[in-house]
């Protein structure tokens, strides 16, 4: 699973193909689908300061966010550490559910 930054005619976006994350089993074990909508919710819960400056256009097979290059670079760094860590994903899911956050996956 790779996180890619794109620049198309001055429009900046970040995409994440949702197949094959090291954290997928942890997501499924928590009762969620590791799809683009799940990752969008995770970003909105875990990093609201980053998410507030982004526009999301996720799909089942892909997470997608658009925004400034600096905001997307911050998101890439944060998300990159989580998609490789089942423990980090489990922790975020547990905190989200304890707070009443509902994932839309």
pLDDT of 48 higher than 80: yes
Q: Is residue 39 part of a domain?
A: yes
Task: Note whether residue 84 is domain-resident.
Answer: yes
Contact partners, residue 2, CB within 8 Å, separation at least 6 = 16, 17
Confidence of residue 95 (pLDDT cuts 50, 70, 90): very high
Residue 103 in any domain: the answer is: no
Can you give the residue range of the structural domain that contains 92?
Answer: 3-8+15-98
pLDDT at 11: 92
d(CA 4, CA 14): 6
Residue 65 within a domain: yes
pLDDT over 80 (residue 20): no
Residue 93, pLDDT above cutoff 90: yes
Residue 17 has what pLDDT?
86
């Amino acid at each position: 699973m790779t996180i890619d930054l794109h620049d198309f005619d001055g429009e900046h976006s970040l995409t994440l193909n949702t197949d094959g994350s090291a954290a997928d089993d942890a997501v499924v074990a928590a009762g969620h689908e590791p799809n683009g909508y799940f990752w969008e919710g995770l970003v909105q819960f875990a990093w609201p300061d980053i998410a507030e400056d982004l526009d999301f256009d996720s799909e089942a097979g892909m997470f997608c966010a658009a925004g400034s290059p600096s905001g997307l670079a911050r998101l890439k760094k944060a998300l990159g550490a989580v998609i490789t860590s089942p423990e980090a994903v489990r922790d975020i899911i547990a905190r989200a559910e304890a707070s009443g956050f509902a994932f839309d996956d």
